[in-house]
A and B are shown apart, each in its own frame.
Chain A
C-alpha cells in the first residue's frame, strides 16, 4: 500500500469516528453537484441554497444514516434533496389551495421574449411533482442514462421512464396552455 493510500484510509477512518469530519468530507465532495441539481429543481438561487443546506443538515444530524462510498453517498443526498423538495412542494400546494393567488405566475412582463420563454419553461418545470422534475432534469439536462437515474433515486427503470414520459407530456400541456392564454 502506498503512503498516499494509507493516509486516505486513515482519514476515512477518522471521518467515521468524528461526525463533523464525516459531514465536512461529504460537503466537500458533493456540495457543488448537489447545488446544480437543487438550482435546476428550484425557482431561485436562494431556494437552491436552502435545499442544499437542509440536505446537509439532515446528514449532519444523523451521519450514521449516510451510507459509505461516494456513489451511495451521492444517491442518499440526492434522495434526501428530492424528498425535501417534495415536502416543500406539498406545503406550497396546500397554501395554494387556501390562497389561489399564490399560484399565479410571477411577473412575465419582461420586454425580451427569449427571457419570457425561458421563464415559462422554468415555471412549467416547477409545476411538475419534484420526483418527476428530478427525472427530467437528470435525463435532459445532466444527460444521465435511465439506469443511473433509477439507482440515484432508488426507483425502478420503468418508473423513471414513466416519469419521463408523463413529465414531457405535462410540460407540453403547460407550455401550450401558457402560449394560448
Chain B
C-alpha cells in the first residue's frame, strides 16, 4: 500500500533540480554581500529605544532648567494688561489691556458691586 510519504518521494522535485546552479549561487551571494555591506552595520535593535529614551529625558531636563531660569511671562501671550486707577478703598479701579489685534479694552471695576444684590 502506497503511503503519502511514498507519493511525496515519487514526486520529489529534487530529482529534477537537486542543487542550486553555480550561476545562481554566485548571483545570490553577490546580492546578499552587497546588502550586508550596505545595511549590516545598522545599529543594534536595543540601541534605538535607548536613544529615544535618552532624547526624551534630555528634553524634559532642558525644559525644567529653562523653566526655572526664564522670567515669568504673561499667561496669555500677546496680551499686555495694565492695572490703573486708584487703590484707595471705595473708589473705582480700572483694568486696561490691549488685544493682539490692537483693540484697547478698559474694564472699570466697581468696588460697591455685590453679586448677591443682582440675584433675584
Taking Cβ atoms with an 8 Å cutoff, the residues of A that contact B are 19-20, 22-24, 27, 31-32, 35-36, 39-40, 45, 48-49, 52-53, 56-57, 59-65, 117-119, 121-122, 125, 136-137, 140-141, 168, 171-172, 175
Contacts and interface: CB of A to CB of B under 8 A. Distances in A.
A31 B7 contact: no
B17 A65 contact: no
B8 A61 contact: no
Interface residues on B, range: 20 to 34
A172 B4 contact: yes
Interface of B is mostly: helix
Interface in B1-55: 4-5, 7-14, 17-20, 24-25, 28-29, 31-33, 35-37, 39-42, 44-45
A39 B36 contact: no
Given A39-B14, A49-B20, A57 B37 contact: no
Given A57-B35, A60-B36, A65-B45, A39 B4 contact: no
Interface of B: 4-5, 7-14, 17-20, 24-25, 28-29, 31-33, 35-37, 39-42, 44-45
A57 B17 CA distance: 23
Nearest to B4: A168
29 contacts: A19-B40, A19-B41, A20-B33, A20-B40, A22-B36, A23-B36, A24-B29, A24-B33, A31-B25, A36-B14, A36-B18, A40-B12, A40-B14, A45-B17, A52-B20, A53-B28, A59-B32, A60-B32, A60-B39, A61-B36, A62-B39, A62-B42, A121-B10, A121-B11, A122-B11, A125-B11, A137-B8, A141-B9, A168-B4
With most chain B CB atoms within 10 A of its CB, the pick from A48, A136, A140 is A140
A29 to B, nearest CB: 12
A61 B19 contact: no
Given A20-B40, A39-B14, A49-B24, 10 more contacts: A19-B37, A31-B29, A35-B20, A40-B13, A49-B20, A52-B28, A57-B31, A118-B11, A122-B13, A140-B4
